[in-house]
A and B are shown apart, each in its own frame.
Chain A
Amino acid sequence: MSFDKSGQLSYDDFAAWIRRYAGVIADNKQYLTDLDAAIGDADHGINMDRGFQAVLPKLDAQTPGDVGAMLKVVGSTLISTVGGASGPLYGTFFLQFGIATAGQSSVGLEQLLKGLDAAISAMQRLGKAEPGDKTLLDALIPARDALRRASEDGEQPAKALSAAVDAADEGMRATIPLVARKGRASYLGDRSAGHQDPGATSVDLLIRAARDQWAG
């Protein structure tokens, strides 16, 4: 399953992405929690896993077709089950992505970017974080920007996704030296430097799951 000849992703592609990510989160539950123990409260992997395990049966119950409707269900399920900072943020991500793709049975790069734009601005309205604050946005925004550049350069979708993964990787690693200005990690002041942000790490895994699923 991946992009079709006209560069479109189907409902099944999106559902497979979410399922794959649920598996990735389960596999990395401990890793994400350990990262959060260093600069937060040791629950990020547990929070995310609780949410995505709740998403799986909702996906099974969903009538295939409308990509946006499915993503909205993912978002509201996360808001209702995750808690913490990541629940409202990831929930808002999928909810806004779903609103931007409502009624569509296939989604191309252009709509993907529109969805990401809507999702990121809503997450910033809610969490009031800026790039460089050492949050999940530090992986998400560079990934979106790289995807846009590649798409504008006329790259194939698969190539564009790889560029997004590279940018997310880089953004995630770039959180290591940063001093956190948002979230729990900010309580540490300078002591938050030297640790990778857990949220940026789970976002990196999200972008990777998309690349692996759609362009693997």
Chain B
Amino acid sequence: MKKLINAPDRVVDEALAGMAAAHSDLIRVEPPNIVVRKDAPRRGKVGVISGGGSGHEPMHGGFVGLGMLDAACPGAVFTSPVPDQMQAATKAVDGGAGVLHIVKNYTGDIMNFDLAAQLAEAEGIQVKSVVIADDVAVKDSLYTAGRRGVGGTVLAEKIVGGCAESGANLDTVTAMCQRVQDNVRSMGMALTSCTLPSVGKPTFDLGDDEMEIGIGIHGEPGRSRMKIATADQIVEMLMTPILEDLPFKSGDRVLAFVNGMGGTPLIELYVVYNAVASMLKGKGITVARNLVGSYITSLDMAGCSISLLKLDDEMTRFWDAPVHTPALRWGL
């Protein structure tokens, strides 16, 4: 393992300290390891928090700031945060209007957020939760833990953050988050495994000429493993299940998000985006907005994911609204 670290068990703490030092104008880092918007709590504004295992940077800590999250709770690498973190974050951002928890659909995240919401409510803070489950690689049946929360989370955090910033109440902010969840679908693929600092070797073996389609953001094996194909063919393999699932139809306006898994250069993401854009054009679907870059990663995994969100005017307006966080900034 070759990594820029001092010790595996200090990675999260030192990275958080580094973030705090680099972005002291936007965020503060407080015990027990929470990233909080510098000016939180804001009186009368609904607080929006999220969290999950570390190793997906910039998600979620990089999205704390004006127009997006009020706080983020990073767990150990690839491990859900503990309830104490969400409880502390909820308290830190509550401006009296309640707090929304954006939770990715993983068993650990669900249970730890659940315990935290109970603790916060016992202290008199109104908490609502929305679960993001957008990964079409997973069958959504009674016989699984349900779809994983992946790329759609980034879009939800931006749009919901914009909605909360506009002064909407907790019910409205919650409904907006649910609306994003209901209209977003994603799927990812890997060219290589990732290596956890604490493990030191790749999570799974993937041959030099192989790829995994339907990969999760923690290196969970996907739908199938096959010989490497061209970018155009890979886009087709990811887009077809996404398009069929919602389904996305001719005349729809979408936000197309091409995300890098951490170890893939931007030049390749643009090759992918090019194929995505032309495929959508061919189907009569308008790309009204887009995002290209590595925003929800899986450590050093090479690969990408594609997310499509069917937009309406309100979602588009909140996507366009000003945002100023360590990882996303526009409109000011």
Q: Does B79 sit within 8 A of A, measured CB to CB?
A: yes
A-binding segment of B111-119, B226-234, B310-318: B111-119
Partner of A184, one of B32, B82, B220: B220
What separation, in Å, do the CA atoms of A83 and B144 have in the docked complex? 21
Within 8 A of B (CB), among A81-130: 81-89, 126-127
Q: Would A182 and B80 count as touching, CB distance under 8 A? A: no
Answer whether residue A155 sits at the interface, using C-beta atoms and an 8 A cutoff: no
Q: Which residue of A lies closest to B146 (CB)?
A: A186
Q: Which of A83, A87, A179, A188 is packed against the most chain B CB atoms within 10 Å?
A: A83
Q: Kindly list chain B residues whose C-beta atoms are within 8 Å of the C-beta of A87.
A: 80, 82, 108, 111-112
Say which residue of A40, A50, A82, A84 sits within 8 Å of B220 (CB atoms): A40
State whether the Cβ of A194 lies closer than 8 Å to any Cβ in chain B.
no
Of B15-23, B35-43, B159-167, B198-206, the stretch lying at the interface with chain A is: B198-206
**Contact across chains for A83 and B75 when beta carbons are under 8 A apart:** yes
Take A41-B203, A87-B108, A88-B112 as given contacts and tell me if A187 and B80 are in contact as well, using a CB distance cutoff of 8 Å: no
Please classify how large the interface on chain B is, using the bins under 10, 10 to 19, 20 to 34, 35 or more.
Answer: 35 or more
> Quick one: given A50-B76, A79-B82, A187-B148, are A182 and B107 in contact (CB under 8 Å)?
yes
- How many residue pairs link A and B with beta carbons under 8 A? The number is 100
Q: What 1/0 flags go to A118-145 for Cβ under 8 Å of B?
A: 0000000011000000000000000000
**Which of A33, A85, A181 lies at the interface centre, i.e. has the most chain B CB atoms within 10 A of its CB?**
A85
23 interchain pairs, CB-CB under 8 A? A37-B199, A37-B204, A41-B219, A42-B203, A43-B77, A43-B196, A46-B198, A50-B76, A80-B83, A81-B82, A82-B82, A83-B81, A84-B80, A85-B108, A88-B83, A88-B111, A88-B112, A88-B114, A89-B111, A183-B145, A184-B107, A186-B143, A187-B145
Chain B interface residues (CB < 8 Å from chain A): 32, 53, 75-84, 106-108, 111-112, 114-115, 138-139, 143-145, 148, 196, 198-199, 203-204, 216, 218-221
Report A-chain residues with C-beta under 8 Å of the C-beta of B75: 83-84
What A residues does B145 contact at CB under 8 A?
Answer: 182-184, 186-187
Q: Is the CB of A88 within 8 A of B115?
A: yes
Q: A79-B115, A87-B108 are in contact. List 12 more A-B contacts (CB 8 A).
A: A37-B204, A41-B219, A43-B79, A46-B199, A47-B79, A81-B82, A83-B82, A85-B111, A182-B145, A183-B107, A184-B106, A184-B220
Q: For A88, list chain B residues within 8 Å (CB).
A: 83, 108, 111-112, 114-115
Check if A83 sits within 8 Å of B221, measured CB to CB.
no
A79 touches B83 (CB 8 A): yes
